[in-house]
Amino acid sequence: MTPELPADHRELMIALSGIVNDYPSVDPEEALAALADEAAEALGRHGTPQGRRERTGYTILLYATCWYASARVYGKSLLTSYTEALDGILATLGPDPCTCPADGGGHPAHLDSEYGVEAGASMLTEAGRAAFAEDRGLAGEAMAVFDCEAFLAELAGRAADRVREAYRRNFGGIDVSHLDARFVRDDGGVDVVALQEAIRRTWENNTGPVALWSARRWLSGQVRDDERIGLFLCLWMGVAQTYAGLPPSYTRDLAAALATVDQDVTCEHPRHPWSTATANTRSRYLAVVHLYAPEDHPDTPVPAELSSRELWECPVQYAELARTALKDVQDWRVMRGGDEEDWEG
């Protein structure tokens, strides 16, 4: 009879394949947390034939999915579970160097993908291994290399390093003080035009740091009256233009700065300047740089009748901006998962 992957492991493979392809059919946080728990539980069978098979399979699965756990889900408990499972696996692996024959094709490559999920799920059982070997045309040494302890230690070590770095990046302190040299003028004021030039360069992955710097400057109180709206708009744009969301290490200060704006305000203005500048990133940029350097940047989407400082500084406009930005931050929490306390620090 043709060997087949057990039904429950086939379901596991399908679920994890959707996750690593970034098209999950199940809740990624729940599925990955269950995977880490199962890997940790399997360590109790270490030393048995079943335990050795499972160690190989779960090591490969944790390695293949660690990028998603690190980059797509902002949950402390998930990263902690991955770290504990990987550290547990590493503790079972000996320090002996690899003895795999060079002519055997070397260690399997490209395991951080759908292939890794297929291989990992298949390695958990003898039936799965037989099905994988037949489907892939592998036998003997080509299959044995999956169980090489040096190979497994390399995978587990790389995955553990990636998860620990994600924990630091997502929940640790982010230092943006080096940006003072770029955004603070010699007279101590904020260079709003320089902030705008930086936030435009989204391909440099600097939107988050610029938004965080703006939030911390706002919270510090070191903001002159003429800088307030410009700095706040840079903060707002940093949130609005970060479409994939920012981790809790950023959002704590972003939310704190936005929460300083009074929402209990009213006015009689039918429109405010920013309502005419939100069509796209370039329109926003033109509006802000014209406001702060009109001679150097004469073009603006804001009509003359809405360009007065009184309208720019209207408390209702601040309230509207803060409200929409806070909603974006809340949407990131829903999208990225994790517990509420993970986001609050």
CB 141 within 8 A of CB 104: yes
Q: What is the mean pLDDT of each run of 10 residues along the chain (345 residues)?
A: 83 96 93 97 93 96 96 92 97 81 67 90 94 84 86 95 95 94 96 94 82 97 95 96 89 96 96 91 95 95 95 97 95 83 72
- What pLDDT score does 108 carry? 80
- What pLDDT score does 103 carry? 56
Q: Which two tokens stand for residue 176?
A: 């943006």
pTM to 2 decimals? Answer: 0.86
- What pLDDT score does 101 carry? 65
- What pLDDT score does 191 carry? 97
Q: Which amino acid is at 237?
A: M
Tell me which residue has tokens 């620090």: 345
Secondary structure of residue 184 in the 3-state scheme: strand
End-to-end CA distance of the chain: 55
- What pLDDT score does 102 carry? 62
- What pLDDT score does 279 carry? 79
Helix 114-123 with 49-71: angle, nearest 10 deg:
150
Measure the CA–CA gap between 343 and 345, rounded to whole angstroms.
6
Q: Which two tokens stand for residue 340?
A: 């509420």
- What pLDDT score does 142 carry? 78
Residue 160: phi, psi to the nearest 5?
Answer: -65, -40
Secondary structure of residue 111 in the 3-state scheme: coil
Measure the CA–CA gap between 57 and 132, rounded to whole angstroms.
12
Question: Cβ contacts of residue 8 below 8 Å, gap of 6+?
Answer: none
- What pLDDT score does 167 carry? 95
Question: Cβ contacts of residue 122 below 8 Å, gap of 6+?
Answer: 5, 9, 13, 57, 128, 129, 131, 132
